[in-house]
Structure 1
Amino acid sequence: MRGFQILNDPFLNRGTAFTEAERRKYGLIGLLPPRVKTIDEQAAEMYALYQSKGSLIEKRHFLMEIFNHNRTLFFNLMVRHIDEFMPIVYDPVIAEAIERYNERFMQPQDAAYLTIDDPDTIEQRLQNAADQRDIRLIVVTDAEGILGIGDWGVNGVDIAVGKLMVYTAAAGIDPQQVLPVVIDAGTDNQQLLADDEYLGTRHKRLTGDQYFAYIDRFVKAVEKLFPHSLLHFEDFGRGTAARILDKYQDRILTFNDDIQGTGIIALAGVLGALKISGQKITEQRFLTFGAGTAGMGIVKMLYNELIKQGLSPKDAKRHFYLVDRQGLLFDDTPGLTPKQQAFVRSRDEFADAGRLTDLTAIIKAVQPTVMIGTSTVHNAFTEAAVKEMAKHAERPIIFPISNPTEKIEAMPEELIKWTNGKALVATGIPSATVAYQGIDYQIGQANNALIYPGVGFGALAVNARVINDEMLAAAAHALGGLVDVKVPGAPVLPPVSQLTEFSKKVALAVAQSAIDQGLAQTDLSAEQAVAAMHWQPEYQPFDQLLANYRK
């Protein structure tokens, strides 16, 4: 491999940082300007250019250009500015990038594009995208339920790319070992179907037996081609995500961020809030506003924690109230999913059950101490509803975690004001500090990015057979334990600026849990395994890099 071939490979290219000796040895003489720069100099130059960009989407576009040409430099830059770059390369700006994917498509970013219309080429497509690399982590989406913006077809590949960026920047997985995958099953998004520039297949989303048969063939192909990989499912639809996870989670190393990741971050936030309030989780009443994939993932994690704390399954279920479009969900509510059926209430528990369709009325009847929103209904947590909750809860725990911003159930400054500073708040979007009555309230970000990099990395580091509930609980406790209760207005979750630090803590906790349960396939300790797998975004000796490339 020589010359332009090296410069056009983002895993090998280092641009002006190639030394004079490397330029002579690998046919790069004359292909670069003479000055040799360090990665520090390159990063400073790129950051200055980044700051010159006007809009957030232009900033993202610029960063993607670096990503497409030089992965090491991109991640070196992202680690240096991780709290600033996270909203740009991932949520919330990624939503606009997905919506504008057709007009901005330049490079496939080493992703695999699969189509349900051509199931016989699954292995070929995966092999072509992997290009002989040792793939250890796959993020796959069918883009039916992207963030809070819904079905975006093949455009959803950006969510897989962005997710893997966070894995590398936060936890340190080698970018050569990751593979973003999009399954194009069609789309029900009429805007895309009517768009002449749409890059995906132009038909309605396929469902049912044909869809699940395709998923099965895909999983088998991954097992065959990448037997040591973690398969991370992302932004699948409400009717498919749980079914896929239930089928494969005990069979292969897999993770669904929308179900398990959201559940972990919510539990971690609740544990952090309770550490501040000094209360017990077994004393809480949980209202989940939005009982879809994410909402039920949260309920399951909280329920498992109540069991772990000594409650019987029957008693634990009494602590949960599910609210969806219909209002409070009852056992006779039409169209309940299997996950919902396990946690619904009986109408005879309430004298006015028929009127429990309004959130304020529901709160008055239920008197929750914890309210978590995954509804994507903007401003659903009204002043009346929040003030009603504050009447019955000494320190109401309120997490409006829907995103992007136009989908959030309430803004944190409103929640602090309406509860006279009593609320313990986390949001799914980055939120500024709220100044109220002389106290600066730091708002924790209940973003899955705080948790999934450490979970996946820890499982991979010890070659775990599966990711189970014990490992997920270990991750939540590791993150929830980082709250500083001595600081007035302290956040219930640590800040994104510390992402690399606490991703390591989460990875160690998950790795140790796998070892303790006999699920690890390594002779190393958790600390040794995590350290051995960690990749640093620095230029290594090029001879060594090339020798190990695609092995």
Structure 2
Amino acid sequence: MSSRPFEFESTPTGTKVRVRVRGNDVLAIPLINRGTAFTKAQRDSLRLNGLMPSGIVSIEGQISRVYQQFLEQPDALSKNVYLSAMRDRNEVLFYRLLAEHLEEMLPIVYTPTIGEAIQRYSHWYSRPRGVFLSIDDPDGIENAFLNYGLEPEDVDLVVATDSEGILGIGDQGVGGVQIAIGKLSVYTAAAGIHPRRAIPVVLDVGTDNLALLNDELYLGVRHARVRGERYDAFIDTFVEVTTRLYPKAMLHWEDFGASNAHRILDRYRNDICTFNDDVQGTAAVVAAAALAGVKATGERMSDQRIVVHGAGTAGVGIANLLRDIMIREGSSPEEANARFWCLGSRGLITEALGDRVRPFQKPYARTDADVQGWRLDVEGRIGLADVVRNTHPTILIGTSGQPGTFTEAIVRDMAAHTRNPIIMPLSNPTSLSEGVPERIVDWTHGKAMIATGSPFAPVTFHQRTYEIAQANNALVFPGLGLGVAVCGASRVSDGMIAAASEAIAGISQVTRPEMPLLPSIRQLRYVSATVALAVVRAAQEEGLATVEVDEPVQAVYQRMWHPVYPDLEVV
């Protein structure tokens, strides 16, 4: 007989939960607590009489109450704290509220508000969530996972961060656990990943954030961030333990620094089922926007000239996926590489920069012959304006974190040589965006097709309303994780990522510049299911599916958890 306090079981009529604990122990477990929604019979059998008011309220009534309380919170951070407290009290109610108000609440539980919550983590610490792994105790990794209490077959996802590259705010130490928790909230709300089948993890390897190290309330290990061989050994141990304990889980890397993100992904991607959202998720959603725009012009991706301003983790990840799409269209790798001009902090990436070019940037380094004869604003440095002037790009992507760098002169120059320029200022938050949609629409006389990293209001130009698409990774990663879980994919391949992009682009159906390049967050549940279906089929075609899926549509639908109170059996 199981000794667990509760366990879920799938039945022909839905999900059932068996509960073994009684009294306050029931109310202390968020996934089985349903507060005032417990019936009279349930209260009798679970010994809850007298532990709450006698009134019985349906989940619809509870939603009405908690949504009003949410609206009464004074600011975004207070709303985040309120929702976190609700999740710690009643997870089904939390996810039901989130699902019913997803467009409104996604910026609260995820970007951008989650950034503030991360920065204040040690000061506002309340109830711990997730698994905390210290580089000072690598031998304790397995025990920490075992203490979390999930069996090998119970886990679909492990989301891990080392907190070095958090959301444009940098190194946040142990507080980065909040980004892993936020990601899993989106996985559940958008794709129906059961909240009990996912583990958030923070890899606490120290921090170079001096404000944290000198804060007496800081809860992480108190030393500088460990790098080099000791760091790599810690990651190796983490991966070995995780894949051994949870062999069916996808390992999702989140917000690692640029020096480690590509390197770690490349080290493990061919051996285990793993995914980096900053590299592959960002690439997939941006590629989806680009595909939708290119299809609207009647061209192919292989026909495009693409400038990436900000060739870091995200920027090069985007370039890599767009290059793969070109190769799938029939271009050679050399022909595809030649369609990109990538800029870093020193301007255009060229072979002349030598060792200052990172390994993952080298495929896009331009030769002296490529830039011979160019007219430059500043001799010896090739900036964004120089690249746009000399290449006449059709797609301009910003992942630089440098606000306002898509200037009027640059945008007008681009528009002068392209019928419908695709312009994507993607840096978050809004204050770091490379350009403002209202100005871009004006400077291009309404010709630009735009996607941004942060949400922007619609723009009116010459009596036409332009819906501004937000290139939110939430359009990709939840459906990817769901698809992997449905088919038991042994790896996450480039073909599966490309299939996700193409599925999203297919939903968009753009025909005019004022139409959004991407689906709305309001459609997130549908988008996630569509992405999952495309991922399952791609995995099957590539021989990566370990579970036979005869009816993919039904399999995806059945796997999606719905936030309703399940049948309850008292044992």
**What TM bracket, shorter-length normalisation?**
over 0.9
SS in 1 for 2:122: helix
- Output aligned runs, 1:186-265, within 5 Å: 186-265=206-285
Distance in 1 separating the partners of 2:74 and 2:115: 18
Distance in 2 separating the partners of 1:148 and 1:54: 25
Choose which of 421, 427, 447 in structure 2 pairs with 1:422. 447
**1:174-224 per-position Cα deviation (integer Å, ceiling 9, x unaligned):** 001111000011111122112222111111100001001000000111112
Choose which of 514, 523, 528 in structure 2 pairs with 1:503. 528
Do structure 1's residue 338 and structure 2's residue 342 form an aligned pair? no
Partner of 2:559: 533
Contact kept in structure 2, 1:188 and 1:204, CA below 8 Å? yes
- Return the letter of the residue paired with 2:148: A
SS in 1 for 2:351: coil
Distance in 1 separating the partners of 2:380 and 2:387: 8
- Return the letter of the residue paired with 2:183: K
**1:14-73 per-position Cα deviation (integer Å, ceiling 9, x unaligned):** 111111111111111111211111111111110011011111111111111111111111
Provide closer, same or farther for how the CA distance between residues 116 and 366 of structure 1 changes in structure 2, counting only shifts above 3 A: same
Partner of 2:387: 362
Do structure 1's residue 4 and structure 2's residue 24 form an aligned pair? yes
Do structure 1's residue 86 and structure 2's residue 86 form an aligned pair? no
Choose which of 53, 70, 88 in structure 2 pairs with 1:68. 88
Contact kept in structure 2, 1:426 and 1:444, CA below 8 Å? yes
Do structure 1's residue 515 and structure 2's residue 531 form an aligned pair? no
- Output aligned runs, 1:400-439, within 5 Å: 400-439=425-464
Distance in 1 separating the partners of 2:364 and 2:414: 21
Distance in 2 separating the partners of 1:36 and 1:230: 40
Partner of 1:99: 119
Distance in 1 separating the partners of 2:541 and 2:420: 36
Do structure 1's residue 306 and structure 2's residue 326 form an aligned pair? yes
- Return the letter of the residue paired with 1:121: G
Per-residue deviation, 1:468: 0.2
Partner of 2:9: none
SS in 2 for 1:102: coil
Partner of 1:446: 471
Distance in 1 separating the partners of 2:149 and 2:495: 32
Contact kept in structure 2, 1:262 and 1:297, CA below 8 Å? yes
Distance in 1 separating the partners of 2:514 and 2:530: 24
Distance in 1 separating the partners of 2:509 and 2:488: 33
Distance in 2 separating the partners of 1:338 and 1:60: 39
Contact kept in structure 1, 2:529 and 2:557, CA below 8 Å? no
Contact kept in structure 2, 1:439 and 1:488, CA below 8 Å? no
- Return the letter of the residue paired with 2:34: R
- Return the letter of the residue paired with 2:536: A
Partner of 2:481: 456
SS in 2 for 1:246: helix
Partner of 2:145: 126
**1:65-93 per-position Cα deviation (integer Å, ceiling 9, x unaligned):** 11111111100111100000110100111
Contact kept in structure 2, 1:275 and 1:483, CA below 8 Å? no
SS in 1 for 2:485: helix
Contact kept in structure 1, 2:350 and 2:366, CA below 8 Å? yes
Per-residue deviation, 1:401: 0.8
- Return the letter of the residue paired with 1:184: D
**1:271-294 per-position Cα deviation (integer Å, ceiling 9, x unaligned):** 111233333211110111111111
Partner of 1:321: 341
Query: Which 10-residue stretch deviates more, 223-232 or 471-480?
Result: 223-232
Distance in 1 separating the partners of 2:159 and 2:370: 43
SS in 2 for 1:385: helix
Partner of 1:349: 370
Partner of 1:112: 131
Per-residue deviation, 1:99: 1.3
Distance in 1 separating the partners of 2:568 and 2:160: 31
Per-residue deviation, 1:251: 1.1
- Return the letter of the residue paired with 2:75: S
Distance in 1 separating the partners of 2:296 and 2:77: 37
For these two proteins, the number of residue pairs brought into alignment is 544
Choose which of 175, 181, 198 in structure 2 pairs with 1:161. 181
Per-residue deviation, 1:349: 2.0
Contact kept in structure 2, 1:285 and 1:369, CA below 8 Å? yes
Do structure 1's residue 468 and structure 2's residue 489 form an aligned pair? no
Choose which of 125, 130, 144 in structure 1 pairs with 2:164. 144
Per-residue deviation, 1:341: 0.8
- Return the letter of the residue paired with 2:264: I
What percentage of aligned pairs have identical amino acids? 43
Per-residue deviation, 1:159: 0.4
Query: Which 10-residue stretch deviates more, 386-395 or 272-281?
Result: 272-281
Structure 2 unaligned regions, length at least 5: 1-20
Distance in 1 separating the partners of 2:433 and 2:491: 33
Do structure 1's residue 480 and structure 2's residue 505 form an aligned pair? yes
- Return the letter of the residue paired with 2:302: T
**1:387-422 per-position Cα deviation (integer Å, ceiling 9, x unaligned):** 111122111111111111222111211211111111
Distance in 1 separating the partners of 2:439 and 2:83: 34
Contact kept in structure 2, 1:508 and 1:527, CA below 8 Å? yes
Distance in 1 separating the partners of 2:420 and 2:557: 40
Contact kept in structure 2, 1:17 and 1:36, CA below 8 Å? yes
Distance in 2 separating the partners of 1:356 and 1:268: 32
Distance in 2 separating the partners of 1:203 and 1:163: 27
Per-residue deviation, 1:434: 0.8
Contact kept in structure 1, 2:447 and 2:513, CA below 8 Å? no
Distance in 2 separating the partners of 1:517 and 1:322: 31
Distance in 2 separating the partners of 1:434 and 1:164: 32
- Return the letter of the residue paired with 1:427: T
Contact kept in structure 2, 1:356 and 1:362, CA below 8 Å? no
Contact kept in structure 2, 1:92 and 1:405, CA below 8 Å? no
Distance in 2 separating the partners of 1:67 and 1:112: 17
SS in 2 for 1:87: helix
- Return the letter of the residue paired with 1:491: P
